A and B are shown apart, each in its own frame.
Chain A
Amino acid sequence: MELTLAIAIGVLTGSGVWLLLRPRTFQLIIGLSLISYGVNLFIFSMGRPRFGAPPVLLTDGAINPADYTDPVPQALVLTAIVIGFATTALFLVVLLVSRGLTGSDHVDGREPR
Chain B
Amino acid sequence: MGWADQILIAPIILPLVTGALLLLFDERRHFLKAMVNVVSTLLLVVVSLVLLNFADAPVGNGAATTGVYLLGNWAAPFGIVLVLDRLSALMVMLTAVLAVASLVFSLARWHRSGPHFHTLFQLLLMGLNGAFLTGDLFNLFVFFEVLLAASYGLVLHGSGALRVKAGLHYIAVNLAGASLFLIGVSLIYGVTGTLNMADLAVRIPAVAAGDRMLLEAGAAILGVAFLVKAGMWPLGFWLPNAYSAAAAPVAAIFAILSKVGIYVLLRLSLLFFGAEAGASAGFGNSWLLFGGMATIGFGAVGVLASQAMGRLAGFYLLVSSGTLLAAIGTDSVAVTSGALYYMVSSTLTVSAFFLLIELVERAQDPASDVLAVTMEAYGDDTDEDDIQDEVGVTIPATLAILGICFAGCGVLLAGLPPLSGFIGKFAMLTALFNPEGLAPGGGIAGGTWVLVTLIILSGLSAMIAMTRAGIRTFWAPIEGTVPRVRVIEIAPVAFLLVLCLALTVKGGLAMRYMDATAQSLHAPASYVQDVLSAESLPGAKTEAAQ
**In the complex, what residue of chain A is closest to B188 when comparing beta carbons?**
A46
**Contact assessment for B179 and A94 in the assembled complex, using a CB-CB cutoff below 8 Å:** no
Q: Chain B residues near A39: list those with CB within 8 A.
A: 179, 182-183, 186
Other-chain contact of B165, A48, A88, A102 (Cβ < 8 Å): A102
Residues 60-113 of A at the B interface (beta carbon under 8 Å):
72-73, 76, 79-80, 83-84, 86-88, 90-91, 94-95, 97-98, 101-102, 107-109
Q: Return A78 CB to nearest CB of chain B, in Å.
A: 11
How many interface residues does chain A have, given as a range?
Answer: 20 to 34
**Contact assessment for A94 and B168 in the assembled complex, using a CB-CB cutoff below 8 Å:** yes
Query: Does B405 interact with chain A (Cβ within 8 Å)?
Result: no
**In the complex, what residue of chain B is closest to A102 when comparing beta carbons?**
B161
**Contact assessment for A42 and B186 in the assembled complex, using a CB-CB cutoff below 8 Å:** yes
**Contact assessment for A83 and B172 in the assembled complex, using a CB-CB cutoff below 8 Å:** no
Residues 99-157 of B at the A interface (beta carbon under 8 Å):
138, 141-142, 145, 148-149, 152-153, 156
Most buried by B among A72, A83, A102: A83
Q: Return B509 CB to nearest CB of chain A, in Å.
A: 41
**Contact assessment for A42 and B183 in the assembled complex, using a CB-CB cutoff below 8 Å:** yes
Q: Chain B residues near A36: list those with CB within 8 A.
A: 175, 179
Q: Chain A residues near B165: list those with CB within 8 A.
A: 98, 102, 108-109
Q: Chain B residues near A20: list those with CB within 8 A.
A: 172, 176
Query: Does B167 interact with chain A (Cβ within 8 Å)?
Result: yes
Other-chain contact of B156, A42, A94, A95, A107 (Cβ < 8 Å): A94
Q: Chain B residues near A108: list those with CB within 8 A.
A: 165
Q: Chain B residues near A76: list those with CB within 8 A.
A: 138, 185-186, 189
Q: What is the CA–CA distance of A66 and B160 in the complex, to the nearest angstrom?
A: 57
Q: What is the CA–CA distance of A90 and B190 in the complex, to the nearest angstrom?
A: 31
Query: Does A30 interact with chain B (Cβ within 8 Å)?
Result: no
Q: What is the CA–CA distance of A98 and B168 in the complex, to the nearest angstrom?
A: 8
**Contact assessment for B142 and A79 in the assembled complex, using a CB-CB cutoff below 8 Å:** yes
Q: What is the CA–CA distance of A110 and B145 in the complex, to the nearest angstrom?
A: 30
Q: Chain B residues near A43: list those with CB within 8 A.
A: 182, 185-186
Other-chain contact of B164, A28, A83, A90, A97 (Cβ < 8 Å): A97
**Contact assessment for A86 and B189 in the assembled complex, using a CB-CB cutoff below 8 Å:** no
Query: Does B357 interact with chain A (Cβ within 8 Å)?
Result: no
Q: Return A89 CB to nearest CB of chain B, in Å.
A: 11
Q: Return B545 CB to nearest CB of chain A, in Å.
A: 13
**Contact assessment for A46 and B168 in the assembled complex, using a CB-CB cutoff below 8 Å:** no
Q: Return A76 CB to nearest CB of chain B, in Å.
A: 6
Q: What is the CA–CA distance of A90 and B116 in the complex, to the nearest angstrom?
A: 15
Query: Does B416 interact with chain A (Cβ within 8 Å)?
Result: no
Q: Chain A residues near B167: list those with CB within 8 A.
A: 94
Other-chain contact of A32, B152, B161, B172 (Cβ < 8 Å): B172
Q: Chain B residues near A97: list those with CB within 8 A.
A: 156, 159, 164
**Contact assessment for B187 and A46 in the assembled complex, using a CB-CB cutoff below 8 Å:** yes
Q: What is the CA–CA distance of A9 and B370 in the complex, to the nearest angstrom?
A: 49
Q: What is the CA–CA distance of A73 and B195 in the complex, to the nearest angstrom?
A: 11
**Contact assessment for A87 and B168 in the assembled complex, using a CB-CB cutoff below 8 Å:** no
**In the complex, what residue of chain A is closest to B190 when comparing beta carbons?**
A46
Query: Does B171 interact with chain A (Cβ within 8 Å)?
Result: yes
Other-chain contact of B168, A25, A47, A80, A83 (Cβ < 8 Å): A25
**Contact assessment for A107 and B168 in the assembled complex, using a CB-CB cutoff below 8 Å:** yes
Q: Given A20-B176, A102-B161, A90–B152 Cβ distance below 8 Å? A: yes
Q: Chain A residues near B160: list those with CB within 8 A.
A: 101
Residues 25-47 of A at the B interface (beta carbon under 8 Å):
25, 28, 32, 35-36, 39-40, 42-43, 46-47
Q: What is the CA–CA distance of A87 and B169 in the complex, to the nearest angstrom?
A: 14
Q: What is the CA–CA distance of A49 and B182 in the complex, to the nearest angstrom?
A: 18
**In the complex, what residue of chain A is closest to B161 when comparing beta carbons?**
A101
Q: What is the CA–CA distance of A74 and B299 in the complex, to the nearest angstrom?
A: 42
**In the complex, what residue of chain B is closest to A17 when comparing beta carbons?**
B176
Other-chain contact of A79, B138, B169, B171, B176 (Cβ < 8 Å): B138
Q: What is the CA–CA distance of A94 and B182 in the complex, to the nearest angstrom?
A: 23
Other-chain contact of A87, B138, B149, B187 (Cβ < 8 Å): B149
Residues 182-208 of chain B, each 1 if its beta carbon lies under 8 Å from chain A, else 0: 110111011000010000000000000
Q: Given A39-B179, A42-B186, A107–B169 Cβ distance below 8 Å? A: yes
Q: What is the CA–CA distance of A90 and B155 in the complex, to the nearest angstrom?
A: 13
Q: Chain B residues near A42: list those with CB within 8 A.
A: 182-183, 186
**In the complex, what residue of chain A is closest to B167 when comparing beta carbons?**
A94
Q: What is the CA–CA distance of A84 and B187 in the complex, to the nearest angstrom?
A: 19
**In the complex, what residue of chain A is closest to B152 when comparing beta carbons?**
A90
Q: Chain A residues near B248: list those with CB within 8 A.
A: none
Query: Does B178 interact with chain A (Cβ within 8 Å)?
Result: yes
Q: What is the CA–CA distance of A20 and B172 in the complex, to the nearest angstrom?
A: 9
**Contact assessment for B171 and A94 in the assembled complex, using a CB-CB cutoff below 8 Å:** yes
**In the complex, what residue of chain A is closest to B218 when comparing beta carbons?**
A46
User: What are 14 A-B pairs at a CB distance below 8 A?
Assistant: A20-B172, A32-B179, A40-B182, A43-B182, A46-B186, A48-B190, A83-B142, A84-B178, A87-B171, A87-B175, A90-B152, A94-B156, A97-B159, A102-B161
Sample of 11 more A-B contacts, CB < 8 Å, known A35-B179, A42-B186, A97-B159: A20-B176, A39-B183, A43-B185, A43-B186, A46-B187, A79-B142, A80-B141, A94-B152, A94-B156, A102-B165, A109-B168
**Residues of A near any B CB (own CB < 8 A):** 20, 25, 28, 32, 35-36, 39-40, 42-43, 46-48, 72-73, 76, 79-80, 83-84, 86-88, 90-91, 94-95, 97-98, 101-102, 107-109
**Residues of B near any A CB (own CB < 8 A):** 138, 141-142, 145, 148-149, 152-153, 156, 159-161, 164-165, 167-169, 171-172, 175-176, 178-179, 182-183, 185-187, 189-190, 195
Q: Which 10 pairs across A and B sit closest by C-beta, in order of nearness?
A: A46-B190, A43-B186, A46-B186, A101-B161, A109-B165, A39-B179, A83-B145, A98-B164, A39-B182, A35-B179
